[in-house]
Structure 1
Amino acid sequence: MKYEYAAAPLDAVSAERLATQGLDLALVDTSDSEALATWLQAENRGFHGARLPQSKLEVQLPHIAHRRTTGVWDPDSADAASPVATVSTWVMDLTVPGERSIPAWAVTAVSVSPTHRRRGIGRALLEAELRTAASLNVPVAVLTVTEATIYGRYGFGPSVMSADWTIDTTRARWIGPEASGTLSFVEPETMLSDGYDLVQRVRLQSPGQVKFTGILWERLLGVNGDPESTKSLRVVRYDDDEGELQGFAAYRVVEIGEDFTSHRLDLAYLVSATDEAYAGLWHFLLEIDLVSTISAPLRTIDEPLLWQLSDQRAVRRTGVREHLWTRILDVPVALTARRYSAPGIFVLDVSDDLGFADGLFLLTVVADGSASVELLTGEAPDDAAAIALTVDDLGALYLGGVSPITLVRAGRVTELRPGSAASLEASFRSPVTPWLSIWF
């Protein structure tokens, strides 16, 4: 289904709310490079970034022109041409359990100028985007965040965790399987096509991954217009015995202090389609000469690597945090899009302060893992598990990475019938730990 998100009308509710403060909610004409550059400078300032030089603007502008680009302007500001708040959205596919995808409203670049804080501008922007997504029948919204305390109030729940891994290679001896494929250094540009095809093939293996392209892809390979970034990046590919690409790793090596025998390897990206490619790439990285430490940010919290090393204490997992937040807008569409690990009948009493997902739903999962959902108007079946939860907690459970038993113990989910959380756990859990390997 094609979504005409860029040209969708402005949300009248938020526009009127902001107008009472003398503020203008408007879409940026992304074909107007000057207007889009002004918006981009304001968005970058909102995240404390330096003013973007023309060279970087020229790289970024074509890649974001397809997005729905919204801002809030203050006509009384000394710089009335620059927005005092920004948000950018588009539709991309989100992987859900069962190696399936669902369209998701991707939200990014949410910023409000410090000069205009505490005036409800951020709320107006986010609620406008959610209403717009719902009007276009996009069933879920997703975002990655710099601040974790903001988005629960809008119905987003943390659904994918990540961790930053640090490995002391002087202690970590490889005890995993030996890979039989071939490793080769390649120039980053050579991976733009083949590497992209691999990433898209692999993304269905992990709930939480998204289908991304453009600058989100090119920056992983250091080919996004930053010469220094490109110059220092090394890319090694893994081909199987048939000569087919099955994985690659992109990394930089940084000297630590004055001792040339001690370097840190910063892993920018590692993707593998097979367990053998995963083992082959990690084995290679761990045994690079003159490297004493590997820094691997934004990895899954459940890496097989931990069990392929002689000393697990050589690994430190820091920065464990929620990475992807998911907001359910259409409960029946969202819940029927994914597959489940066990059959069951469930009554979900969902509360949503914004009204998109509010209701009493009957979820029926059959033996093949498929499901049907309907509004429950009568009595709940006698054999149904039943829970009450908020839409943000439903978002947290959606990809199968959070246990409903944990949420019951935390007092966030209420069992309406004893044992319901355990039944829900058996059905909702994902056999693959959810993971998102990028920021957006």
Structure 2
Amino acid sequence: MTQPTDPEAVGGRLPGLEMHRFAATGLTAEQDPVMARMLTALERNFYEEVPSGPALDQVLQLHGRDERTYLGVYDAGVDPAETDPVGTYASFVKPLQTGVGRQLDAFLISEVTVRTTHRRRGILRAMMTTELDRAVAGGWPVAALSASEATIYRRFGFGVATVRRAVQVDTRGEASLMAASTGTLRMVEPKELAGLGPALYARALAQTPGSVGRVAAYTVTETDSWRSKNDGRGTGLLAAVHEDDGGTARGYVTYRFSGWKQEVPTITVTGLVATTAASFRALWDHLVHLDLIQRVEWGFAPQDGLLENLLTDPRRVKTSDIADQLWLRILDVPAAFAGRPYHRDGELVLGVTDPLGHAAGTWRLSVRDGTADVVPLPEGGAAAAETAEPDTTPPDLTLDVAELSSVYLGGVSAELLRQAGRLTEHRPGAAAELTALLAADRPVFCMTGF
């Protein structure tokens, strides 16, 4: 049987404060008061309603399924089982899709908060540097997070690798598609997705560079079974599954009606997973032809233009917001670049700065036949023969690890970063070469939050 949390003291870097690390157990709040206190603190710090009773136990069980590790910061001398932490930090490992058919394990970071009363005491920096050091020691080549504020994490080496957008689709009149949809759509009870959702998401993940494995909470979100909402009996979420002509499920969508009091009858898409282009078309054919509905809203859409090209009238699609989604942080340069696919050969020397030192150095990136080899070089330039003087030719490019992390998956252009003044090009054309070398074969998008 899983044992209640036993906090492990972490080396002190914070005067008057203590850090403790522990693993989520999946036990109930009564069985594991330390984890219950942790969850209470982070929800309050995010101004969210704190679950209680069976709802709290459900969240604790889901976090246990994710095998999360928590770092809590406490006032010195208190008992973590009886006191809320003043700083919270969660980490866990999920696959990051680096290209079609290629994955590597990523160190995911979530639930990072600092209580307002304890700001400017170095808590965030202590938690972040401590756990990134642990990630490096554990051999994870990249770390990833999604940020509530856009100006916090670049100082720790994170760069924006993917974005998402919110769209509104006008479905009044005849909102037709350019190509006919195939297969069949059937309405299902959300709970039926418990057997379909994870497998379909895994197939879609394998095709979507920039996506990560989903957290366990999605098994509750898409089945409309949160204990904190109507005691898990459902809240009116609607779901439809697309099957191909052979009867095999290829995708699904969940959505919610906004109510008749809204001036424009609207449904909001809460989840959409398609494993084929035909499935994506069929799901949207269903959405734009819902009876009595005049607008479809989707707050977690890719910015790839596919939706506009789907419709005969692309002006029906309006983007209301664009936001950063996946922030990446390269920790091991050779392992990270060896862990993604390539579609052309090339060679560049990159000078990388890193305030924490993990990725700092001069690196030769060589790609042959779809495989990258990255080797460290002497400071100042390319490797030289043993009998020759060290080659002090500068790198082709110099960039911070945050910029390197942004361009890594191919969703952000190194050439655009050069134009923005965010990297230094020592050889004309080198930024454009890096952009081409890292180009992805599918649009880069993170399909999930975490």
Q: What TM-score results when the alignment is normalised by the length of structure 2?
A: 0.90
Letter in 1 for 2:374: V
2:304 is aligned, of 260, 280, 302, to: 302
Is the Cα–Cα contact under 8 Å of residues 263 and 290 in structure 1 kept in the other structure? yes
Instruction: Supply the distance in 2 between the matched residues of 1:385 and 1:280 (Cα, whole angstroms).
Output: 49
Is the Cα–Cα contact under 8 Å of residues 190 and 222 in structure 2 kept in the other structure? no
Cα deviation, residue 380, structure 1: 5.7
SS in structure 2 of the partner of residue 255 of structure 1: coil
Cα deviation, residue 236, structure 1: 0.3
* Higher alpha-carbon deviation: 142-151 or 51-60: 51-60
Instruction: Supply the distance in 2 between the matched residues of 1:9 and 1:409 (Cα, whole angstroms).
Output: 47
Identity of aligned residues (%): 32
Alignment of 1:112-123 (within 5 A): 112-123=114-125
**What is the aligned partner in structure 2 of residue 37 from structure 1?**
36
**What is the aligned partner in structure 1 of residue 371 from structure 2?**
370
Instruction: Supply the distance in 2 between the matched residues of 1:399 and 1:351 (Cα, whole angstroms).
Output: 19
Instruction: Supply the distance in 1 between the matched residues of 2:411 and 2:87 (Cα, whole angstroms).
Output: 33
2:241 is aligned, of 237, 242, 245, to: 237
Letter in 2 for 1:101: Q
The reply on whether 1:379 has 2:382 as its aligned counterpart is yes
* Higher alpha-carbon deviation: 393-402 or 71-80: 71-80
Alignment of 1:135-150 (within 5 A): 135-150=137-152
**What is the aligned partner in structure 1 of residue 316 from structure 2?**
314
Alignment of 1:153-164 (within 5 A): 153-164=155-166
Cα deviation, residue 76, structure 1: 7.1
Letter in 2 for 1:41: T
**What is the aligned partner in structure 1 of residue 338 from structure 2?**
336
Q: Which runs of 5 or more structure 1 residues have no equivalent in the other structure?
A: 1-5
Cα deviation, residue 99, structure 1: 2.6
The reply on whether 1:60 has 2:68 as its aligned counterpart is no
Change (3 A) 1:201 1:232: same
Instruction: Supply the distance in 1 between the matched residues of 2:62 and 2:213 (Cα, whole angstroms).
Output: 15
* Higher alpha-carbon deviation: 40-49 or 206-215: 206-215
SS in structure 1 of the partner of residue 88 of structure 2: strand
Q: More helix per residue: 1 or 2? A: 1
Is the Cα–Cα contact under 8 Å of residues 215 and 224 in structure 1 kept in the other structure? no
Letter in 2 for 1:373: V
Is the Cα–Cα contact under 8 Å of residues 385 and 423 in structure 1 kept in the other structure? no
SS in structure 1 of the partner of residue 131 of structure 2: helix
Cα deviation, residue 8, structure 1: 11
Is the Cα–Cα contact under 8 Å of residues 88 and 110 in structure 1 kept in the other structure? yes
Cα deviation, residue 81, structure 1: 1.1
**What is the aligned partner in structure 1 of residue 13 from structure 2?**
17
Is the Cα–Cα contact under 8 Å of residues 171 and 314 in structure 1 kept in the other structure? no
Cα deviation, residue 170, structure 1: 1.3
Cα deviation, residue 322, structure 1: 0.9
* Higher alpha-carbon deviation: 117-126 or 45-54: 45-54
Cα deviation, residue 221, structure 1: 3.0
Instruction: Supply the distance in 2 between the matched residues of 1:364 and 1:10 (Cα, whole angstroms).
Output: 43
**What is the aligned partner in structure 2 of residue 349 from structure 1?**
351
Cα deviation, residue 394, structure 1: 0.5
**What is the aligned partner in structure 2 of residue 412 from structure 1?**
422
SS in structure 1 of the partner of residue 349 of structure 2: strand
Instruction: Supply the distance in 2 between the matched residues of 1:380 and 1:397 (Cα, whole angstroms).
Output: 25
Is the Cα–Cα contact under 8 Å of residues 95 and 204 in structure 1 kept in the other structure? yes
Instruction: Supply the distance in 1 between the matched residues of 2:394 and 2:410 (Cα, whole angstroms).
Output: 20
Letter in 2 for 1:202: A
Change (3 A) 1:109 1:363: same
Change (3 A) 1:258 1:401: closer
Cα deviation, residue 349, structure 1: 0.6
**What is the aligned partner in structure 1 of residue 410 from structure 2?**
400
The reply on whether 1:26 has 2:30 as its aligned counterpart is no
Cα deviation, residue 100, structure 1: 0.7
